[in-house]
Amino acid sequence: MESLEFNKIAFAVLSTCLFVMGIGIFSDTIFASHAPAKPGYALPDAAPAGDKGGAAAAAPAMPLGEMMAKADIKRGETTMSQCKACHTLEKGGKAGIGPNLYGIVDRPIASIEGFAYSPALQAKSKTDGNWSFEHLVAFVGNPRGYANGTKMAFAGLKDPLQLANVLAYLRTLSDNPAPMPK
């Protein structure tokens, strides 16, 4: 009696195993696996630009146009609240501790009538002419590095992406925004 029960169970288990194995072999023949010629997604060549740490070291080498293409105007506006301690931004705004910044992109350096610019920035107006994006990056990124002796008591924006955001926002403060850098 007992051994008959055992045999039944053993048979059931064994036939189940055979059945499962059978399916395995059968499906292997249908779905023979081929490695795709190309992976379905492109592997990035370098670390993504948003990647913290890597970006800080790699970004200064990034061309300005590329940097600006990633820029976020809204974030730039938020960052520029630091600048508003000294600068007005609206058209025809009065000078504060610093000159009004409306239309700053491509404006001649140190050109607001009646503002007492430092000799350092006045000298830059002779050598560099206008506030191109490149000059703005240099100055806003490191004011004293660009114009040694500037009156702008500001450490500078060290994060290249933050700097790009600010430039993208500054560009909008104009009747006629300058073309984006290439």
Binding site residues, ligand HEC, CB under 6 A: 80, 82-83, 85-87, 97-99, 101, 104, 109-112, 117-118, 120-121, 131, 136, 139-140, 147, 150-154, 157, 166
Smallest gap from residue 158 Cβ to ligand HEC (A): 11
CB-nearer residue toward ligand HEC: 58 or 77: 77
Tokens of 125: 């107006």
CB-nearer residue toward ligand HEC: 14 or 155: 155
CB-nearer residue toward ligand HEC: 34 or 82: 82
CB-nearer residue toward ligand HEC: 69 or 112: 112
CB-nearer residue toward ligand HEC: 49 or 86: 86
Smallest gap from residue 143 Cβ to ligand HEC (A): 7
Cα→Cα distances 29→17, 26, 103, Å: 19, 5, 71
Smallest gap from residue 37 Cβ to ligand HEC (A): 51
Smallest gap from residue 132 Cβ to ligand HEC (A): 11
CB 111 within 8 A of CB 125: yes
Cα–Cα dist 99/87, whole Å: 6
Smallest gap from residue 115 Cβ to ligand HEC (A): 7
Query: Hey, what amino acid is at 146?
Result: Y
- Torsion of Cα atoms, 132 then 136 then 139 then 140, to 10°: 170
CB 131 within 8 A of CB 120: no
Cα–Cα dist 103/168, whole Å: 12
Q: Token match 């025809």: residue?
A: 92
Cα–Cα dist 78/92, whole Å: 21
